[in-house]
A and B are shown apart, each in its own frame.
Chain A
């Protein structure tokens, strides 16, 4: 077999997170209208301002059209055929882990995210979200010692309503786009992080999102606020069971960094991607945006995107504070019939802002992998600089790799530099490695991980190895 076919086959690997947890779930009826929104809000005992926020968003959403510009070509979604709230039946959020349904703990154990005292990851605090609700957050007390707040957003709504009211929807306004509006109307749960002034968060924070129900949409909402001179590193992971229907995931993430603050946000996205014929999988339509509000603030996005049937996601930075820095490091691997359309927007508003974009796309099977990005230098962004590099690797001659970088400048004393290239795993390189005694599959995975090295280096240490492994698992059998 030629090595090209071989490489192609190494990319297909069964999804190992595809199990369903048998647990009694409380679901509301399918469908979406103002009453449903009032119901969600009342179930969560939300204050008035939040209900109004939801209703405003819903009314906007009704007037918006579903976008089709990304040429993703998915069958239209029936928004009345989705359950907007599902929660494992528990009386209330438990104050201690001992009271959490052991089935849920077992689920997260199986996913490699043990929550129990003995087994949990050292130095990583985890917020575990199951369908629409957060079921547990570890190390909360320890974080509280430094004044760091890490909890579910529902909890934050009742505990810190003034912060929610002040920041929610300020980075991603409810009417920003179709899916952000939908999320703003119906969001169920998600994580909230607040780092007080001058605090360097003592451990990695991590949220783990699990979709369990087949007909339930997942609409989580994450808000991270880093006060002046503070810093935090946050990681999210995601998996879902295998269903032959498509599940909608429309999350919104908002980050705010004040003067001299820095936020590092990493994602390892491994939602179920559908089977090798393209049946089932998650529609991952996500809006992520960070506001570098303060001077010299920094927001860095790193992502490893391997799952979902369709991904539509552009983690962005608004560089509003003078001297602020935005970064985007991305690896996107697509196989079979997956479609990923991902990239970033770097909007340079203030002088001397800097941004770096490194995107690595790997397309195998009949998948399509696109980089879509915008770098904009506003009229006041003198001295601003951007450097972007987008590389694609193609495995097999049926996969597509597209690059659509938009660049726009209105400031002569700003510079933008974009480079893109495409390559394959060359037979010469393979031969060279093999002639040194390295097995075929290992050689391929070495080259793929070498291709992605720059991005993996950006991930928190605990997860860099994980990401590398995920990629080689995903590649296994697709080369052979």
Chain B
């Protein structure tokens, strides 16, 4: 496999900055592990050719995004503030943050970094190691209090670059935040993104992740989330236009008794491969999960969903529900879904479901019986199908989703 060549690893920029130690560790991992093994369940279906193409891109260092690309971005939503990550943005140490947000000090970073990855047991996952190997800068901050301005975190990869970014967020006890992450890809660009979020007791986080690519864009995102008692977390993701897209949300309810809501939508067209690999673990009693993952596969694309729910013995009283709903719109496209339940606790309510089909005939008929053509009906239904997820995104997300984006796929 291509990665093993020392050339690739040695061609990376020299390790530097706060993350240089982590960078070395990541590179060692890649050196000894090569590409992710095909017999690893979560990589079994991955398109290695696309992954390789993505790894062929040079890692971006301190180039700046041209203003033309920046001009495509919508205005910052009123009342919100924006931080630009990666080479296109301000140097992370210079980012100015509003009241309620505080940059973590170096000793704090030393203490916190990687902790959440550990709790989510994904420290040694391949895509995390890739991010370790690549990223030299870190945005790390804590959040306290309520009624804070909504935050937008943007990163935009330019053509012909592999853009690595990493974020560490600590929500203090009782804090409340609305966070929108937007990842934009250009033709022949790629992203490796890693975010660790620790959500303190009774804190609330509404978290949106929009990944919109442009032709040959690659995107790998790892999320490691740890929730403390009585916290609430709503995560909504929307991925579209990525030739190779892979989102891996991993979440742990540290002591249970927290609420997690996950909404995901991926729209695959052309020859794209989009994958979501989610993993939720309850490490205490009385936690709840409400997860709905949707996917649309058109043309000769491939959509993958893998979702694990782990309910060990300590997690009595868990109430978890996971649904994977998939629309297959072309006979050249393919959908794979695998929801998994692992339960060792008898007083729990867990359910999962998965469906793959085309649009529901009864729904199409209802609309047609009201004079709406089949094409229009399909558009309306697909729109509605997407809307159910998109409306859960933080309110400032609207500006980022081109209004007809969902309709483009038809």
Contact code string A391-410 (vs B, CB < 8 Å = 1, else 0): 01011111111111111111
> B354 near A407 (CB under 8 angstroms)?
yes
Q: Is the interface of B mostly helix, strand, loop or mixed?
A: strand
- Cβ of B388 within 8 Å of any chain A Cβ, yes or no, is no
In the assembled complex, the Cα of A395 lies from the Cα of B354 at a distance in Å of: 26
Are B355 and A415 touching (Cβ within 8 A)? yes
Closest to A400 in B: B344
B328 interface residue, CB < 8 Å from A?
yes
Contact with B along A236-273 (1 / 0, CB 8 A): 00000000000000000000000000000000000000
B366: min CB distance to chain A, Å: 18
Decide if B410 is an interface residue (CB 8 Å cutoff): no
Q: A412-B358, A416-B356 are in contact. Are A394 and B334 (CB under 8 A)?
A: no
Indicate with 1 or 0, residue by residue over B316-339, a CB within 8 angstroms of chain A CB atoms: 100000000010111101111111
A70 to chain B, nearest CB (A): 12
Which of B65-73, B76-84, B163-171, B345-353 lines the interface with chain A? Answer: B345-353
Cα–Cα distance between A400 and B340 once the two chains are bound (Å): 13
A178 to chain B, nearest CB (A): 15
- Do B329 and A402 have beta carbons less than 8 Å apart? no
A413–B329 alpha-carbon span in the complex (Å)? 9
Cross-interface CB contact of A415 among B316, B348, B349, B356, cutoff 8 Å? B356
Q: Say yes or no for A186: interface residue by CB 8 A criterion.
A: no
Number of interface residues of B (CB under 8 A): 33
Given A416-B356, A418-B353, A422-B349, residue A407 in contact with residue B340 (CB < 8 A): no
Asked if A399 and B329 sit within 8 Å, CB to CB, the answer is: no
The smallest C-beta distance from B350 to any residue of chain A, in angstroms, reads 5
Asked whether A107 is an interface residue with its Cβ less than 8 Å from the other chain, the reply is no
Chain A interface mostly helix, strand, loop or mixed? strand
A407-B336 CB under 8 A given contacts A397-B316, A400-B342 = yes
Chain A residues in 8 Å Cβ range of B352: 403, 418-420
Cβ contact of B340, chosen from A395, A402, A416, A423, cutoff 8 A: A402
Shortest beta-carbon distance, A400 to chain B, in Å?
A: 4
A417 in contact (CB, < 8 A): yes
Interface presence of A379 (CB below 8 A): yes
Closest to A385 in B: B357
- Closest-CB distance, B88 to chain A (whole angstroms): 39
Question: Does B335 lie within 8 Å of A403, measured CB to CB?
Answer: no
For A397, list chain B residues within 8 Å (CB).
313, 316, 344-347
> Number of contacting residues on A, CB 8 A?
35
- Which of A401, A411, A416 contacts B354, CB < 8 Å? A416
Q: Of B313, B326, B328, B343, which one neighbours A411 at CB under 8 angstroms? A: B328
Interface pair A417/B335, CB less than 8 Å apart: no
* A424, B347: Cβ atoms closer than 8 Å: yes
Which residues from 358 to 381 on chain B have a C-beta closer than 8 Å to any C-beta of chain A? 358
A413 to B330, alpha carbons, bound, how many Å? Answer: 9
Nearest Cβ distance between residue B292 and chain A, in whole angstroms?
A: 14
Q: A416-B354, A420-B351, A422-B349 are in contact. Are A379 and B341 (CB under 8 A)?
A: no
- Using known A-B contacts A398-B313, A422-B351, determine if residue A403 contacts B340 with beta carbons closer than 8 Å: yes
- Shortest CB-to-CB span from A55 to chain B, Å, is 29
Contact of B346 among A395, A404, A409, A419 (CB under 8 A): A395
Q: Is A377 an interface position by the 8 A CB rule?
A: yes
Chain A residues whose C-beta falls within 8 Å of the C-beta of B347 in the assembled complex: 4, 397, 424
Residues of A near B337 (CB, < 8 A) are: 406-408
Counting from the closest, the 9 A-B pairs by CB-CB distance are A415-B357, A394-B346, A421-B351, A409-B356, A403-B341, A412-B358, A416-B356, A424-B346, A418-B354
Chosen A-B contacts, 21 in total, with CB atoms closer than 8 Å, are A394-B346, A397-B347, A401-B343, A402-B343, A403-B340, A406-B337, A408-B336, A409-B326, A409-B335, A409-B356, A412-B358, A413-B358, A414-B356, A417-B353, A418-B353, A420-B341, A420-B353, A421-B351, A422-B341, A422-B351, A424-B347
